[in-house]
Amino acid sequence: MSTGFRYCLRVGKMVLCGVTTGVAAAAVVYKTNGGKEDFLPTAQASWTTGYTPSTKWEGNWDRREPESLLSPNKTELDGSEYSAQIQKLKPTATRHLILIRHGHYAIEGETDEKRVLTAQGREQAELTGKRLKELDYPYSIMINSSMTRAQETADIIAKSVPLVPRGVCNMLREGAPIPPEPPVGHWKPEIKQFYEDGARIEAAFRKYFHRADPDQIKDSYEILVCHANVIRYFVCRAMQFPPEAWLRISLNHGSITWLAVRPSGRVSLRQLGDCGHMPPSKISSA
């Protein structure tokens, strides 16, 4: 049985009374009428009254907070000079990272070279490419994992956005980023795989996820074509969610996940696994 205490709070002509429940306050609303109290059958539950976040946002997560980049430090500069130097180090542009999961592939292939896209996977990649073209953002680059299915997906997408420069990155290859919580019975890589893959995928996160440089004038849009485990881990890390929660997220083939890194360092998740550009018959996840 939960414990709590009764309380009353007068706000103008209104009196709020209720009982705390430990994590939230359930309030019953009364109004005064010439000294009398009339009951209003309305219950409010508030998480904001006396609320303390379980986790604080780490503002300098990418180690690019202007104050942390300035040398000499504040104590060695007068106020006006310090403010001027900080202003020069402040980004003004937003970095948009558009993460694409590869299309459906021949999962039964024994080697990476044999795990090629299926006919459905090629169709998914084509539809994703058309969607990116329709969005018509000024994409600055498209980088894909060096694995076959990601390379083929990027090649098909490139037909829709042929002027976008290309790149390949081994760090974006699929892998086991961190032991998931809760564990799952059907997928149990050896601990050494998490040790090896986790460092690589974390390095990829640090390479691609950070606020814009101060000299970047316009917002940028970068496309990363890679894998479900990598994307799910990136989302958790960028949003400062527990990274071990990555396996609780599901992503369809050819889906679009969009994260924006603001000049302040704040990160927003614009889309997660969006595949609305595909008809239901073309959607797959495994």
Tokens (6 digits) for 240? 């400062």
149 is in an annotated binding site: yes
Helix orientation angle between 148-158 and 119-135, rounded to the nearest 10 degrees: 50
Q: Are 147 and 103 in contact (CB under 8 A)?
A: no
Other CB atoms closer than 10 Å to residue 45's CB: what's the count? Answer: 12
Q: Are 46 and 27 in contact (CB under 8 A)?
A: yes
| Cα–Cα distance for residue pair 104/106, rounded to 1 Å | 7
> Token match 């780490």: residue?
58
SS (H, E, C) 37-94: EEEEEEEEEECCCCCCCCCCCCCCCCCCCHHHHCCCCHHHCCHHHHHHHHHHHCCCCC
| Residue type present at position 170 | N
**Residues within the annotated binding site for substrate?**
149
**Residues within the annotated binding site?**
149
